[in-house]
Structure 1
Amino acid sequence: MNPAEEILDIVDAQDRVIGQAPRGEAYAGKLRHRCAFILVRDPQSNVFVHRRTLTKLAFPGLYDMFVGGVVGAGESYDAAALREAEEELGVSGLPAPTPLFRFLYDDDAGRSWWSYVYEVTCDLPVKPQVEEIDWYGFLSPEELERRLGEWPWTPDSLEAYERLKAHR
């Protein structure tokens, strides 16, 4: 299926479902939907960081310290978090990501989505989806902090990461 055709639940400011729309329509119309963000660590606590492909519908070519994506219509955040993490990392048998917190992302461009942040440790060899990721590495927390000021990052992941640091 073309990603733009995937059906999403459209939600209100309280995260209640108020309708459904294809992803492409939701993005174009700036309709509020749901996303799962998963911070992936290896057993040494290094963080999986990647650069998004130029074909992504949202934030093409930018770096991200989370894997994840939209929650499909009728899908739970937890199911989406596991599905997205396994798909993007190219693994199966990943433990269920641990839910940490939820927040409403709104930006100056009028985009808005409910964002559920998760964390998981992956000790499996990763083989990221080439359709989603064109570069990746596991960075130490110190290296990740250093790269925050150097690389162009997705704005929603930056907000999620700052909220994650405050959450701890």
Structure 2
Amino acid sequence: MDELIDILDSDGNYTNKTAMKSEAHRKGWFHPTVHVWFYTMDGRVLIQQRSKTKDVFPLLWDVSVAGHIGAGEDIEISAVREIEEEIGLTITPEALEKIGVFKSIHRHSENLLDCEYHHAFLCELKVPLHKLTKQESEVEDLSLISLVQFSQEIWGLAHLQKYVPHSTEYYRAIVKAIKNRL
């Protein structure tokens, strides 16, 4: 779905310009996104398998919930909205814990350059997996896996084609942040 988004400079600062998401991707303009990582107190992390119809990284496993921030939209409100849309869970902004902002650049093709600043949050998952409702157009599957298994898979050579290729720094920060809360 195309939407109006804010445009950032290469340092992540707002430029007071907006564009449609498709144009930002075509021209490689930086823009903000949200990433929400859900974890359980018994040491598991919720991962999402991207829909087979996604333009980028179809069927790869990724962050629990992710999405673009609408132009002028509050970051935490955007995160809450994306959570409800993608996994059918209603939370309050106070349940989110921001852990950082991560610069990401992915050239998918000549006409698709994803330049994003991911505003990353943690949130404790307090409901069983079967209570979540996946958004069919975005989410193929949901899985709770141990943080140990997740760590081994994102750093191991055996699963290079399983996960969206975020930077090692990004994945290490997520794992460390979750470990610190257990």
Cα shift at 1:47:
0.5
Counterpart in the other structure of 2:97: 98
Would you say the 8 A contact 1:51–1:64 is kept in 2? Answer: yes
Cα shift at 1:45:
3.0
Does residue 124 of structure 2 align to residue 118 of structure 1?
no
Counterpart in the other structure of 2:164: 154
Inter-partner Cα distance in structure 1 for 2:107 and 2:89: 35
Instruction: Indicate how the Cα distance of structure 1 residues 77 and 101 shifts in structure 2: closer, same or farther if over 3 A, else same.
Output: same
Inter-partner Cα distance in structure 2 for 1:116 and 1:39: 11
Inter-partner Cα distance in structure 2 for 1:159 and 1:153: 15
Instruction: Indicate how the Cα distance of structure 1 residues 30 and 54 shifts in structure 2: closer, same or farther if over 3 A, else same.
Output: farther
| Runs of at least 4 residues off by over 6 Å | none
TM-score by length of 1: 0.84
Matches within 5 A, 1:131-142: 131-142=137-148
Instruction: Indicate how the Cα distance of structure 1 residues 107 and 166 shifts in structure 2: closer, same or farther if over 3 A, else same.
Output: farther
| Farther off after superposition, 55-64 or 108-117 | 108-117
Give unmatched runs, 5+ long, in structure 2: none
Report the RMSD for the aligned CA atoms in angstroms: 2.3
SS in 1 for 2:122: strand
TM-score by length of 2: 0.79
Counterpart in the other structure of 1:79: 77
Does residue 1 of structure 2 align to residue 8 of structure 1?
no
Identity across matched positions, percent: 24
Would you say the 8 A contact 1:47–1:65 is kept in 2? Answer: no
Inter-partner Cα distance in structure 2 for 1:118 and 1:142: 20
Q: Would you say how many aligned residue pairs link Structure 1 and Structure 2?
A: 165
Cα shift at 1:57:
3.4
| Farther off after superposition, 131-140 or 15-24 | 15-24
Inter-partner Cα distance in structure 2 for 1:69 and 1:10: 15
Would you say the 8 A contact 1:36–1:115 is kept in 2? Answer: yes
